[in-house]
Amino acid sequence: MSSVAERSLIANQMTRRDVSTLLDMTREMTRREAARLIGGITASCLWPIGAAGAQSKNESTTMLTRPIPSSGEKLPVIGLGTWQTFDVDPAQSAPLAEVLRTFVKLGGRLIDSSPMYGRAEQVIGDLLTKLKLRDSLFLATKVWTRGQQAGIDSMERSFARLQTKTIDLMQVHNLVDAETQLQTMREWKAQGRFRYLGVTHYEAGAFAEVAKILARAKLNFVQINYSIMERDAEEKILPLAQERGIAVIVNRPFGGGDLFHRVRGKPLPDFAAEFDCTSWAQFFLKWIVAHPAVTCAIPATNSVQHLDDNMRAGFGRLPDAKLRQRMIEAITNL
Ligand SMILES: NC(=O)c1ccc[n+]([C@@H]2O[C@H](COP(=O)([O-])OP(=O)(O)OC[C@H]3O[C@@H](n4cnc5c(N)ncnc54)[C@H](OP(=O)(O)O)[C@@H]3O)[C@@H](O)[C@H]2O)c1
């Protein structure tokens, strides 16, 4: 199945009888052949992105990526947040296994956590080990404490909970005791325990502090809030990140979910078709990742259906500057 259009057609036209014929056929095959065939069809049913992608001139079958400026390593533009959504009893994590499996299947890589997110790191670590997904993911977590020894203890716990020897990105959560934690982080990066370093915040009120640290410390990443209704990062943080060669992770891309309340019951503007957008979630995410300074956005969800929707934002065309402005007006005038 070579193109999105073909996969989409098959997924949409298969009847129950086709499925049962397919199952009969697989009885004649080796287990490996059957698994490959069923896996391909399942992915097609789950992912008929052709509805938008196949009809556009820029049909894409893999997710858009952006290079991390300090290394050139490419990251898919849609990642996964875990605040609240992954803070569950590990015995109840089966639905999240499906979320993670689907995330990787649809081309996702970066997953963001923190010791502040309750059981999230532990749940991620257990699932990665169980599903053998460690090598498919770019693991980002944080340190959120004061004092050198407390920072060391916290980061050691993150390694243990995530069940990994290397954490791809370690970030200072909300700039808490940043200078102290960055000292240890730099040492551990030199030892190969971390691949990249960064800082995070989630409020525009902290952007002056974030800008100061971006200007003086040598960082690979910054993580901040940015969405169609929270655009403060455009003033200083995004231009500074571009100038300093710092990758940008966008948190709270849906304003913590508030954006969905704003558009509830409202139809998507017709012009959304011009950038292969079929839902409000894609509208919000495409608006963000179309900014040239943004490396990836990390929407959080514990629903496979929402994840599927969000991941589609990483395919097809993105809005240009003019369309992005029109999108702001459309939301403001709702
Ligand atoms: N200081 C920091 O470092 C910091 C601060 C804030 C956030 N973060 C990171 O950024 C991540 C994202 O931010 P966030 O979790 O605050 O908020 P968010 O991603 O803006 O919004 C999450 C909410 O949107 C809903 N949602 C997701 N996809 C949807 C879809 N397709 N349709 C409808 N609803 C959808 C989710 O509900 P469902 O689960 O029902 O889908 C959830 O209630 C966090 O999880 C965390 O990893 C970091």
Among 45, 54, 37, 117, which residue's Cα sits nearest to residue 315?
54
Ligand 1 center–CA 290 separation, angstroms: 19
81 Cβ closer than 6 Å to some ligand 1 atom: yes
Residue 37 has pLDDT above 60, yes or no: no
Ligand 1 center–CA 176 separation, angstroms: 22
Look over the chain and give the mean of its residue pLDDT values, rounded to a whole number.
87
83 Cβ closer than 6 Å to some ligand 1 atom: yes
Identify the pLDDT of residue 50: 38
Residue 61's pLDDT band (boundaries 50, 70, 90)?
confident
Ligand 1 center–CA 319 separation, angstroms: 22
301 Cβ closer than 6 Å to some ligand 1 atom: yes
Among 222, 253, 242, 305, which residue's Cα sits nearest to residue 47?
305
Residue 19 has pLDDT above 80, yes or no: no
Please spell the DSSP secondary structure of 168-237, one letter per residue: EEEEEGGGTTHHHHHHHHHHHHHTTSEEEEEEE---GGGHHHHHHHHHHS--SEEEEE-BTTB-GGGTTH
Quote the pTM value: 0.86
Ligand 1 center–CA 299 separation, angstroms: 5
